[in-house]
Each structure stands twice: as C-alpha cells, then as structure tokens.
C-alpha cells in the first residue's frame, strides 16, 4: 500500500471516529462546538481560511496542522480526547494562488452589485444585460475591464457608441474581481473572537 493511500485510509477512519465525537457539555453546546468556525493559518502564520471545528480536528489528528488556540471545549470520541481548536496552523507551507474569479455574466453582475453602471439603477439580474464599454463592433474585447452591468434602456441608448460619444459616464472604472474579500470576512468574524485577533490584526 502506498503512503498516500495509507494516509487517506487513516483520514477516513478518523472521519469515522469523528462521526461519534462528543463534546463535553449539553446538547446545543456540542453541536455549536463542532461547527464553530476555526481560523486556519499557513505555516507562516498568515491567515488563509476558516473551517468548521470538526474539520480542524481531523486536520490536527492527521498531522497536517497543529492547534494554536483552543476554544474552551473538550472533545470525547471513541479514539480521541482533545481540546476543540479555535485556531490551527498548517505544518507545511502551502502556496496560495491569487484567487481570481472566472469572467462570467454572473460575476460581472456580482462585481457591479446588480447596478447599471450608467444610470445607477439597482435591478434584478434578469433585468440587466452586459455592456461592452468599447463596443465589439469597434474592437472592444470581452474582458473584466470592458464589460459592465447595464440596464436595457441604457444599453439601447448607448448602442455602438463609445461612452464619450454618447455622453454616458461610467459610475466607476471596471476592474478584475480579485477576492480580497476572504480576508475581509475573516476580520469580520475575528472581531468577536479574541483568540483570532492577534493573527488577523497586524
Ligand atoms: Zn441604466
């Protein structure tokens, strides 16, 4: 048996073990403790993710991560007894690629918050279309920088004109949608957990 399949088999038996895991305390507390969010740090201590306590425990038991902070609950299962983590850290550094969302109609509308970028109306997705700022007929590409959410009436008005020719101004410069959001979300969650704070606010 290869090392990899041994590891995956070990992981599976741990997951099975976790199935019957109990956290000391009353019922609602048990559920909450195993589903509580856990901050995941890279080996470099850089915050990279948030996962459920249950998953964090499996990562610790598999030797992939170590516990940096406990959340105050104690876990009892057939094969283990340990503190439930609040912060874990990966033992091996993981390269995190720049997360860039795929260019799609859905993601353009998400970036532009369902707002027509010419008149500022907020509309349902079905009432919006995508406008090529530099029209395709004039060499405009289908890119993050050249596509914006647009209502049908502005789209008709603009036609094949460039924004300055139609005197229609964009509300803001369209940009690629990078996910800096995940760090923002971690910070929002970290505000309520003092154990996370020192890893998030620096
Ligand atoms: Zn409009």
pLDDT of 25 higher than 70: no
Q: Distance between CA atoms of 128 and 122, rounded to whole angstroms?
A: 9
Taking the centre of ligand 1 as the mean of its atom positions, its distance from the CA of residue 112, in whole angstroms, is 12
Q: Is 86 exposed, middle or buried (0-12, 13-18, 19+ CB in 10 A)?
A: buried
pLDDT of 60 higher than 80: yes
Identify the band that residue 187 occupies on the pLDDT scale cut at 50, 70 and 90: confident
Taking the centre of ligand 1 as the mean of its atom positions, its distance from the CA of residue 153, in whole angstroms, is 6
Q: Distance between CA atoms of 18 and 35, rounded to whole angstroms?
A: 12
Taking the centre of ligand 1 as the mean of its atom positions, its distance from the CA of residue 87, in whole angstroms, is 46
Which pLDDT does position 130 carry in this prediction?
96
pTM for this structure? 0.51
Q: Distance between CA atoms of 133 and 165, rounded to whole angstroms?
A: 11
Taking the centre of ligand 1 as the mean of its atom positions, its distance from the CA of residue 139, in whole angstroms, is 23
Identify the band that residue 110 occupies on the pLDDT scale cut at 50, 70 and 90: confident
- Residue 145: count other Cβ atoms within 10 Å of its Cβ: 13
Which pLDDT does position 101 carry in this prediction?
60
Q: Where is mean pLDDT largest: 1-15, 21-35, 65-79, 108-122?
A: 108-122
Identify the band that residue 10 occupies on the pLDDT scale cut at 50, 70 and 90: very low
pLDDT in tens, 64-108: 999 999 988 888 777 778 889 999 999 999 886 655 566 788 878
Which pLDDT does position 29 carry in this prediction?
56
Taking the centre of ligand 1 as the mean of its atom positions, its distance from the CA of residue 150, in whole angstroms, is 5
Which pLDDT does position 31 carry in this prediction?
62
Which pLDDT does position 91 carry in this prediction?
96
What phi and psi, each to the nearest 5 degrees, are found at residue 195? -75, -20
């Amino acid at each position: 048996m290869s090392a990899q399949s041994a590891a995956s088999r070990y992981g599976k038996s741990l997951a099975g073990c976790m199935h019957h895991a109990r956290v000391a305390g009353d019922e609602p507390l048990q559920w909450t403790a195993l589903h509580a969010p856990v901050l995941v740090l890279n080996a470099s201590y850089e915050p990279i993710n948030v996962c459920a306590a249950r998953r964090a425990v499996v990562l610790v038991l598999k030797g992939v991560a170590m516990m940096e902070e406990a959340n105050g609950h104690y876990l009892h299962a057939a094969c283990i007894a340990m503190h439930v983590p609040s912060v874990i850290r990966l033992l091996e550094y993981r390269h995190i690629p720049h997360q860039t969302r795929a260019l799609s109609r859905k993601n353009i509308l998400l970036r532009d918050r369902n707002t027509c970028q010419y008149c500022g109306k907020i509309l349902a997705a079905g009432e919006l279309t995508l406008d090529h700022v530099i029209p395709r007929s004039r060499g405009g590409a289908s890119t993050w920088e050249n596509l914006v959410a647009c209502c049908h009436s502005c789209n008709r008005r603009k036609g094949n004109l460039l924004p300055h020719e139609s005197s229609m101004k964009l509300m803001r410069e369209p940009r690629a949608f990078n996910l800096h959001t995940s760090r923002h979300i971690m910070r929002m969650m970290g505000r309520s957990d003092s154990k996370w704070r020192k890893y998030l606010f620096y």
